[in-house]
Structure 1
Amino acid sequence: MTSTLHSFKAWLALLAITVLAGCAHPIAVVPDQARLARGADAPAPMPLRVGYHIPTALADMEVTTPGGGGDNIRYFPYRDIDAGFEKMLSNVFSDIVKLPSIANPAETASSGVHYVIVPTIVTTSGGSGLFTWPPTSFSVDLTSQIRDPAGTLVASPRVVGFGSAETSERLFDHGFAGRRAMEDALLRMQAALRETSFTGAPAQRQRGTTSERLDQLKALRERKDITEEEYEKKRKEILDAL
């Protein structure tokens, strides 16, 4: 009975998705903060006060990219990543503050921040379904421009996160692939920031960093967010960098 009910619900979801074909469908790609929690074995946050800024124009910017079945999807990447980006930064730095503006260097300096980080996001998506529109693949190209309070660029680490969704996942959660890509990008950026040199806080290249990256990669494979071939390629890159 339970199996029959589940199959019926899946059929209804598929029917709804098929009927709604032919337009740009809204989805949410908000990352799950539970997947961004700092592990017990992770390096301690650097003793720095860091501000981050997402311009209002970007927070309100809706992006349209391809879905499946010839349809498009639309979403707000900066608005959706905001809370997850702050959570990720709090794993790396001891004190995080969201800055409403960075136009005035004097005001920025008065906030007591050592650095200001501004994210830049480029997304892509696609769908393999012929009759269903939710995306089966998604990527998030994330760059963090790091500046001192005076506005001088210090570093700009860039990462790319990937996410995928099986049929059952995307039928019930249309933004599943996008959310997984957001989470992957944030975890990759977390690792990149830990290996960035900051004045007053040495780059944290502890032995646990490599282990953490391998664990994250393994988790992506187990969730089928990446293929076995992608897993082996990335694993080799991590080990070759030692």
Structure 2
Amino acid sequence: MRVLKTAAALVMAALVGACAHPISMSTQNVPERVESRLVQKKVAYVMSDADRAKQVTTPGGGGDKVSYFPYRDLEKSIRDVLRSVYQEVVVLNSAADANAVKESGASFVFTPEIKTTSSSPSPFTWPPTVFTTDLSCVVTNGSGVEVTKLRASGNGAAEFNEFKSDFSLAARRATDDLAKKLAQEIRSNGQLR
């Protein structure tokens, strides 16, 4: 009987340890929108329901994992970055839908691809202390012809005394860093004027 209890306890500990803790990459920080500096164009970004539903699991600390929805969590930041550069921003389900792109009136269509990594050297806490978000974005014109590709990478770090009340802190900081770099990348690209 004692052996069964010990085995059950070990199985339960393994199951609990194998769970992925939910975090969020969302942030409330918004890039500055200065009306006098806006490019007077309408643009679109692509985000389908399937993109929003993509869940990712990456390492945390203590052998645990974290899970999140990168497209859903970053959508507001992507939209806010575009709104800080362009007069008007809309969302499309697909860049391949020529009719939808034409009807939107968008001069440029941004199709993002998001990849993330996380880690923590801590054997005692599960939140990640290091988080990286890489975004690559194909930009096409209203006719579907590729104009350029953009790349931006956001890095975030947080230590235990900082993330005690916000387990997503490293991920949020990576999102903030990514948003700043993406805005700079778009503004410095002469093809996107």
* TM range, smaller chain: 0.7 to 0.9
- Report the equivalent of 2:81: 88
- Report the equivalent of 1:143: 136
Q: Does 1:25 align with 2:21?
A: yes
Residue 41 of structure 2, aligned match among 48, 52, 62: 48
1:100: how far off?
3.1
- Report the equivalent of 2:148: 155
- Asked whether the equivalents of residues 116 and 146 of structure 1 are also in contact (C-alpha less than 8 Å), the reply is yes
- Asked whether the equivalents of residues 154 and 176 of structure 2 are also in contact (C-alpha less than 8 Å), the reply is yes
Question: Which one has a larger percent strand, Structure 1 or Structure 2?
Answer: 2
- Asked whether the equivalents of residues 62 and 126 of structure 2 are also in contact (C-alpha less than 8 Å), the reply is yes
1:101: how far off?
3.4
- Report the equivalent of 1:103: 96
Q: 2: CA distance between counterparts of 1:165 and 1:91? A: 27
- Report the equivalent of 1:133: 126
Q: Normalising by the residue count of structure 1, what TM-score does the alignment of the two structures yield?
A: 0.69
- Asked whether the equivalents of residues 21 and 133 of structure 1 are also in contact (C-alpha less than 8 Å), the reply is no
Q: 2: CA distance between counterparts of 1:29 and 1:107? A: 29
- Asked whether the equivalents of residues 134 and 171 of structure 1 are also in contact (C-alpha less than 8 Å), the reply is no
Residue 37 of structure 1, aligned match among 24, 31, 39: 31
Q: Does 1:164 align with 2:162?
A: no
Please give the per-residue CA displacement for 1:173-219, whole angstroms capped at 9, x wherever unaligned.
111000110110111010000011236x3xxxxxxxxxxxxxxxxxx
Q: 2: CA distance between counterparts of 1:111 and 1:83? A: 19
Q: 1: CA distance between counterparts of 2:138 and 2:50? A: 17
Q: 2: CA distance between counterparts of 1:110 and 1:39? A: 26
Q: Normalising by the residue count of structure 2, what TM-score does the alignment of the two structures yield?
A: 0.86
Identity of aligned residues (%): 34
CA RMSD of aligned residues (A): 1.8
Q: Structure 2 regions of 5+ residues with no counterpart?
A: 1-15
Q: Residue 183 of structure 2 aligns to a residue in which SS?
A: helix
1:106: how far off?
2.7
* 1:111-126 superposed matches below 5 A: 111-126=104-119
Question: Matched residue pairs, number?
Answer: 178
Q: 2: CA distance between counterparts of 1:160 and 1:151? A: 25
Please give the per-residue CA displacement for 1:86-134, whole angstroms capped at 9, x wherever unaligned.
0111001111111233332133112111010011111000012111100
Q: Residue 37 of structure 1 aligns to a residue in which SS?
A: coil
Please give the per-residue CA displacement for 1:122-166, whole angstroms capped at 9, x wherever unaligned.
100001211110000000001121101221111111011100002
Residue 55 of structure 2, aligned match among 30, 37, 62: 62
Please give the per-residue CA displacement for 1:27-49, whole angstroms capped at 9, x wherever unaligned.
1110223xx33176x97111111
Q: 1: CA distance between counterparts of 2:52 and 2:83? A: 20
Q: Structure 1 regions of 5+ residues with no counterpart?
A: 1-19, 202-242
* 1:192-203 superposed matches below 5 A: 192-198=185-191, 201=193
Q: 1: CA distance between counterparts of 2:152 and 2:36? A: 20
Q: 1: CA distance between counterparts of 2:31 and 2:146? A: 28
Q: Residue 167 of structure 2 aligns to a residue in which SS?
A: coil
- Report the equivalent of 2:12: none
